[in-house]
Chains A and B, each alone.
Chain A
């Protein structure tokens, strides 16, 4: 098991916490939580060791386009970069939904 951390400066905020993905081979869970410190702080726990560069490439691109202030927790079960990117996009979409009671 390996733990990786990444940080990016951020300007945008998210509305709410979101949790997407599943515990299963080739997949991952992503938890996004709003943060007020102007940064995206990402912590990854993965069973596939030695893929730090691949994670950096996917995250650099994602957080360049989506500069959100958030605490991001990822539990990885050997997802491919394509799956990681989709799950991040899905988590972001859910986090920007306006909660029902505010509609």
Chain B
């Protein structure tokens, strides 16, 4: 089984989590509202997937692990796009970040990339539990298995700047994730998020093998 950062995993409940410290109360409440966790960018341990639990505020984030065999369902960001999951969302008309998805989808289809929503919007689309806020940005992951030419990156950023909410794109490369905003400035170094932590890399080394 393969898991990637941002994938959402459905589980039965808090009893299936493995962690070093006791679960805060908000984690239990959060999982009883929506039994979904997010795959973290960390090394896969033997049969354990590193995950994070999100609470209601930005300061509520908790790291733990879940054994493979306790995962009931895996939802990738791309699957949320394939299903055009926003069409079924009840809050489509009151949350700008949700409402901008059809436009963003049309824009990204011109770039022939695989992509999907992450963050609070992805979580809400996968779980059907109110998570995004009227002020939420739209976080996206865009798969870039091979070099994204700079002129395309600049074009993509320009197009996404026209969306009425802030769009925060992480480009997922074979080595880790970089920010589209930073990459499209064309300056070295850029911050690469790897499973062993963040590092600064030269722009020409991002896709080097």
The interface of chain A, by Cβ under 8 A from chain B, is 21-27, 47-51, 78, 80, 82-83, 86-87, 89-90
B 170-209 binary contact with A (CB < 8 Å = 1; else 0):
1000000001011000000101010001111000000000
Can you list 7 A-B pairs with a CB-CB distance of less than 8 A? A22-B181, A22-B182, A24-B139, A51-B59, A83-B191, A86-B191, A86-B200
Q: Given A82-B197, A82-B198, A86-B200, is A25 in contact with B59 using a C-beta cutoff of 8 Å? A: no
Closest Cβ neighbor of A83 among chain B residues:
B198
B59 touches A48 (CB 8 A): yes
Could you tell me the distance between the alpha carbons of A26 and B119 in the complex, rounded to whole angstroms? 11
User: Are A87 and B191 in contact, with the CB atoms below 8 A?
Assistant: yes
- Closest B residue by C-beta to A85: B198
A50→B181 CA distance, assembly (Å): 28
A78 to B54, CA, bound (A): 13
| Interface residue ranges, B against A (CB under 8 Å) | 57-59, 61, 119, 137, 139, 166, 168, 170, 179, 181-182, 189, 191, 193, 197-200
With A48-B58, A50-B59 as given contacts, are A90 and B179 in contact (CB-CB < 8 Å)?
no
Interface of A is mostly: loop
Chain B residues whose C-beta falls within 8 Å of the C-beta of A21 in the assembled complex:
182, 191
Report the minimum CB–CB distance from B88 to chain A (whole Å): 25
A27:B179 contact, CB within 8 angstroms: yes
Q: B166 near A27 (CB under 8 angstroms)? A: no
Contacts of B182 in A (CB 8 A): 21-22
Report the nearest A residue to B120, measured CB to CB.
A25
Q: Cβ of B179: which chain A residues have Cβ within 8 Å of it?
A: 22, 24, 27
- Greatest chain B CB density within 10 A among A24, A27, A49 is at A24
| A25-B119, A25-B137, A27-B179 known; A80-B58 Cβ under 8 A | no
Instruction: Looking at the assembled complex, report how far the CB atom of B53 sits from the nearest CB atom of chain A, in whole angstroms.
Output: 15
Q: How far is the CA of A50 from the CA of B26 in the complex (A)?
A: 15
CB of B198 within 8 A of CB of A78, answer no
Q: Is the CB of B200 within 8 A of A24?
A: no
Extra contacts, 9 of them, besides A82-B197, A90-B189 (Cβ < 8 A), are A23-B168, A23-B181, A25-B137, A47-B58, A48-B58, A51-B59, A78-B61, A87-B191, A90-B191
Specify which chain A residues have a CB less than 8 angstroms from the CB of B197 in the assembled complex. Answer: 82
Contact assessment for A78 and B191 in the assembled complex, using a CB-CB cutoff below 8 Å: no
CB neighbours (8 Å) of B139 from chain A are: 24-25
CB distance from B47 to the nearest CB of A (A): 26
Contacts of B198 in A (CB 8 A): 80, 82-83, 86
